[in-house]
Chain A
Amino acid sequence: MLPRYFTDKLAKYGVFITALVSILVLLAIAIFIIKGGLPLFGEVNPLDFLFGQSWSPTYGEYGILSMIVGSLLVTLGAMVIAVPLGIACAILLAEVAPRRVRDLLRPAVELLVGIPSVVYGLVGIMVIVPAVRNLGGTGYSILAAVLVLSIMVLPTIISISEDSLRAVPRTYREGSLALGASHWQTIWHVLLPAARSGVGASIVLGMGRAIGETMAMIMVIGNAVIIPSSPLDPARTLTGNIAVEINYAAGLHENALFATGLVLLILILILNSLATLVLKRGEQHA
């Protein structure tokens, strides 16, 4: 038999190598995207690319501002709807609902996570787009996209928020109730603040899913390259821009789509670090 320290070492290096592989893969993705996108900036001014409003590769115009705006609007809209709903549902599952209701709702929420996004898109086309069309326009719009997206991010927010509410030590709850606080006061003033970092993490993860969502967005948002002036206008997201056009792209057009991916990567990095920063701040003040 091998000495124990030897198997320990073996396991340690094995894990280390697999971790290294995943980092290398990440690095390779970044290098690949940069390599694919960089040639664009030999022909197009990066500022024109970022802040140009006209996207028309046939005419050599590569401005992605409307897509950046589209991605941010859709993500923001979805979070405005999904965050209050999601946290409310998490509170219901963790604190309020009787056991039997919870046993029914929890698997349902978990099932929602597993539904492929193309199915959400299909439901969007069949149900939400026609409903939005009654309000005016074609129905393929920011509003339809926001509605579909908020349903998609809900399960992420609900399940992680619920887990973190449950993880709050029992003594907190008992202490609050012992001091004469009502159930609701306990939830609002004790449990939620104590679970803040977990709830915050659920929002960050939900946001990540929202901004990265592609298929369902393409199917309901209309993909028009304009800065929308109303929720009923069509728009295009950064992810949608890549997915819609990569099939037919060649040359500089292809480089521009890689550059779009690069902007998306940077945008997600910025959003994530902002969210982490806000969360850390909150913890220090607590």
Chain B
Amino acid sequence: MNKIASNKKIMLPVTAIMLLALGVAGCGNDTDDNNDDNTTALSGTINEAGSTTVQPLAEKLAAAFTALNPNVKVVIGGGGSSVGVKSVTEGTVDIGAASRDLKDTETGLTKYLLAKDGIAIVVHPDNTAVNNLTIDQVRDIFSGVITNWSQVGGPDKAIHVMAREEGSGTRTAFEELVMGADVRIVTNAVLQNSNGALKTALSGDKDAIGFISFGYIDSAVKALSINGIAATSENGKNGTYPIIRPLYFLTKGTTSELVQAFIDYCLSDAVQQIITEEGYLSVN
């Protein structure tokens, strides 16, 4: 008990010092921002935040852009599509990233179509019996109508549905493109809060099915063909693969010269190779 009591005594001044430090750090940021506003040439800081699907791509694009413009700093943050929309609307970032279409309530923003992304329906690599599902079968599995692999040509085993959490851009896009209006994902589905976590969970369970972004497919999981179309970048780009969603950069009002230069760069032909390399679908 003595140990705990003495810890508490230490915690008080520590808390006070941390608060002071926070205050000082806050002031530091303010002066930085003021400097940014005064720049005219290509130097300064661009802040981006939003979709975690866009994040790895945005980091690569930022690295390429800062290699060309050494005086520019691009800060890439995550948070999710909704955070991206909210942050750019409130003006806390220059660019928001979203991996879904904007909702009716999310207005006043300019959309730039950066790339497209496919959503793959994935199973365990040892699941050799099932290689193809129709969109209707996928919908029935995720809504709990089909509950056994034998109903879709597999062994007599219960299907373990894995999905993303409510509000995730990947889930929202999956619901829009596969489930349709008012057909819901079963409530007993195991939910993971990132593409990576879902892949890890799925790669350990031979009876599982889930959905992840094309960019995350590797040998740990097996991507199923949908309606007979393989989940490949080519089929995504030529539009035959049915589960494709847009990736947007979002800005609000008139943007600074610097931000516009970065966006123009990201949309130019020069970076299409980066987009393809990262496993996303280029749009040009």
Among the 9-residue stretches A2-10, A19-27, A43-51, A176-184, the one with 4 or more Cβ atoms under 8 Å from chain B is A19-27
Assuming the A-B contacts A163-B1, A163-B3, are A57 and B167 also in contact, with contact meaning beta carbons closer than 8 angstroms in the complex? yes
Q: Which of A59, A138, A164, A225 contacts B205 (CB 8 A)?
A: A138
Q: Does A174 have its Cβ within 8 Å of any Cβ on chain B? A: no
Q: Does B187 have its Cβ within 8 Å of any Cβ on chain A? A: yes
Q: Does A268 have its Cβ within 8 Å of any Cβ on chain B? A: no
Cα(A200)–Cα(B156), bound, Å: 50
Contact at B19–A21, with CB atoms within 8 Å?
Answer: yes
Residues of A within 8 A of B80 (CB): 247-248
Contact at B205–A222, with CB atoms within 8 Å?
Answer: no
Contact at B205–A139, with CB atoms within 8 Å?
Answer: yes
In addition to A18-B15, A25-B15, A245-B165, 18 A-B residue pairs with Cβ atoms within 8 Å of each other are: A21-B19, A25-B19, A57-B166, A57-B167, A138-B207, A139-B204, A163-B3, A167-B1, A201-B1, A219-B197, A223-B193, A224-B191, A233-B188, A234-B190, A247-B79, A247-B80, A247-B193, A248-B168
Min C-beta distance of B201 to chain A, whole Å: 7
Contact at B165–A21, with CB atoms within 8 Å?
Answer: no
Contact at B3–A21, with CB atoms within 8 Å?
Answer: no
Residues of A within 8 A of B15 (CB): 18, 21-22, 25
Q: Does A82 have its Cβ within 8 Å of any Cβ on chain B? A: no
Cα(A200)–Cα(B214), bound, Å: 52
Cα(A160)–Cα(B83), bound, Å: 42
Min C-beta distance of B89 to chain A, whole Å: 10
Residues of B within 8 A of A185 (CB): none
Q: Does A137 have its Cβ within 8 Å of any Cβ on chain B? A: yes
Min C-beta distance of B51 to chain A, whole Å: 9
Contact at A223–B192, with CB atoms within 8 Å?
Answer: yes
**Cross-chain pairs A/B with CB under 8 angstroms, 14 sampled:** A21-B19, A25-B19, A138-B207, A223-B165, A223-B190, A244-B193, A245-B166, A245-B167, A247-B52, A247-B79, A247-B193, A248-B168, A253-B166, A253-B167
Cα(A139)–Cα(B201), bound, Å: 10
- Proximity bits, A92-120, B CB within 8 Å = 1, else 0: 00000000000000000000000000000
Contact at A138–B208, with CB atoms within 8 Å?
Answer: yes
We find that the number of chain A residues with CB closer than 8 angstroms to chain B is: 45
Question: Considering only CB atoms, which chain A residue lies closest to B206 in the complex?
Answer: A133
Question: Considering only CB atoms, which chain B residue lies closest to A219 in the complex?
Answer: B197
Question: Considering only CB atoms, which chain B residue lies closest to A59 in the complex?
Answer: B184
Residues of A within 8 A of B204 (CB): 125, 129-130, 133, 139
CB-contacts of B150-196 with A (<8 A): 160, 162, 165-169, 172, 175, 184, 187-193
Assuming the A-B contacts A18-B13, A139-B205, A253-B167, are A222 and B190 also in contact, with contact meaning beta carbons closer than 8 angstroms in the complex? yes
Contact at A56–B201, with CB atoms within 8 Å?
Answer: no
Min C-beta distance of A244 to chain B, whole Å: 5
- Proximity bits, B86-114, A CB within 8 Å = 1, else 0: 10000000000000000001000000000
Question: Considering only CB atoms, which chain B residue lies closest to A53 in the complex?
Answer: B187
Q: Does A284 have its Cβ within 8 Å of any Cβ on chain B? A: no
CB-contacts of B203-230 with A (<8 A): 204-205, 207-208
Contact at A224–B1, with CB atoms within 8 Å?
Answer: no
Contact at B190–A18, with CB atoms within 8 Å?
Answer: no
Contact at B2–A163, with CB atoms within 8 Å?
Answer: yes
Cα(A249)–Cα(B284), bound, Å: 32
